[in-house]
Amino acid sequence: RRYIDYLNERETYDLSDIVHDELTYNNKPMSRANYQNYIGDNVARIPDIYFDIQHLLVSGDDVSSRIQFQCTPVKEFRGHSPNGQTISFVERVFYRFEE
């Protein structure tokens, strides 16, 4: 939940206490700096984005969650042009926390 709180509070400029220097995002290696830039770009495209945890399951170091989004893009986002309309979508995400 702390990670999601960081995202919702727009504290994406330094995730070093939560995210490793190197990570895997959608099965692709990525640096933390690139990940922070990716999240920051999404926030710029949809400034009212809010990560609303619908379901959260934890088993050891593995976390699974269903996150609901309702937001209004101000720049193109996932094929949606900015038109003042709110979009809604759900993500199912999996995290693994390692030391």
DSSP single-letter state for residue 71: E
Residue type, 94: F
Q: What are the pLDDT digits (tens) for 31-79?
A: 999 999 999 999 999 999 999 999 999 999 999 999 999 999 999 988 8
> What pTM value is reported for the model?
0.81
Q: What are the DSSP E strand ranges found in the chain? A: 22-25, 28-31, 52-59, 62-71, 87-96
Q: What are the pLDDT digits (tens) for 34-45?
A: 999 999 999 999
Cα radius of gyration (the chain): 14
Given a contact cutoff of 8 angstroms between Cβ atoms, the answer to whether 28 and 59 are in contact is no
